[in-house]
């Protein structure tokens, strides 16, 4: 049975799962949910797939999973992918440390900037709070400065090999450069720029980027 991803291409978190499925060469169906029609808030979707009315959700036979990172870890483990958490204690520590930075500092700063600068007005939820923007932009700068130092010594965020940690960042880096229109945050850091070139040059990254571009045009 072909697994199903519930979400849509514009969703940064859903794209994480799609990126990994492309990396793994796994066939899948994308069940596109129309946010404008609040399909992700329907009682059937909430009851059957995601109790918090978010995307993505994943269905593989009798197994149902929600949350992008959990889905990706499951897929990496199921397919014995080297992109998943490594087995040695030292490498695992480096992986989990990098994953924690992404989860606790990187994504919250970018997603909050996205809400304040783009989605707040779009959803008629009020005016941009410049204080919150300044706070989270400063946190994002701090994270990117840290990444610049990390990538001075290694090619990828968790070590010398591409991993889920790098993949988790891909949709959000594109969001920074294109939706937030802050490419200088990446371009001004040579090691981050080189890393971004490496990860965006991967075949899976190009496939998903092309599909997104076609959808937006």
Q: Which of 155, 154, 195 is nearest to 173 (CA)?
A: 195
pTM over 0.75? The answer is: yes
Give the C-alpha distances (Å, rounded to integers) separating 177 from 81, 154, 169. 29, 23, 12
pLDDT in tens, the chain (217 residues): 899 999 999 999 999 999 999 999 999 999 999 888 889 999 999 999 999 999 999 999 999 999 999 999 999 999 999 999 999 999 999 999 999 999 999 999 999 999 999 999 888 899 999 999 999 999 999 999 999 999 999 999 999 999 999 999 999 999 999 999 999 999 999 999 999 999 999 999 999 999 999 988 7
Dist. CA 175–CA 110, nearest whole Å? 8
- Spell out the domains of the chain, with CATH numbers in brackets: 4-78 (3.40.30.10), 89-216 (1.20.1050.10)
């Amino acid at each position: 049975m072909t697994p199903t991803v519930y979400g849509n291409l514009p969703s940064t978190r859903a794209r994480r799962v799609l990126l990994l499925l492309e990396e793994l060469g796994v066939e899948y169906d994308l069940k596109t949910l129309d946010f404008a029609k609040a399909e992700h808030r329907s009682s059937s979707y909430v009851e059957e797939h995601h109790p918090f009315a978010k995307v993505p959700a994943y269905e593989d036979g009798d197994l149902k999973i929600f949350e992008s990172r959990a889905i990706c870890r499951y897929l990496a483990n199921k397919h014995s992918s080297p992109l998943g958490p490594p087995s040695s204690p030292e490498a695992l520590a480096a992986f989990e440390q990098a994953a924690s930075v992404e989860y606790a500092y990187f994504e919250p700063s970018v997603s909050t900037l996205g809400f304040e600068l783009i989605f707040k007005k779009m959803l008629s939820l009020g005016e941009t709070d410049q204080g919150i923007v300044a706070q989270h932009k400063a946190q994002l700068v701090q994270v990117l400065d840290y990444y610049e130092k990390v990538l001075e010594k290694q090619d990828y965020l968790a070590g010398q090999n591409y991993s889920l940690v790098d993949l988790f960042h891909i949709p959000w880096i594109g969001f920074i450069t294109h939706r937030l229109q802050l490419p200088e945050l990446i371009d001004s850091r040579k090691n981050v720029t080189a890393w971004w070139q490496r990860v965006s040059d991967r075949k899976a990254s190009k496939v998903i980027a092309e599909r997104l571009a076609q959808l937006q045009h």
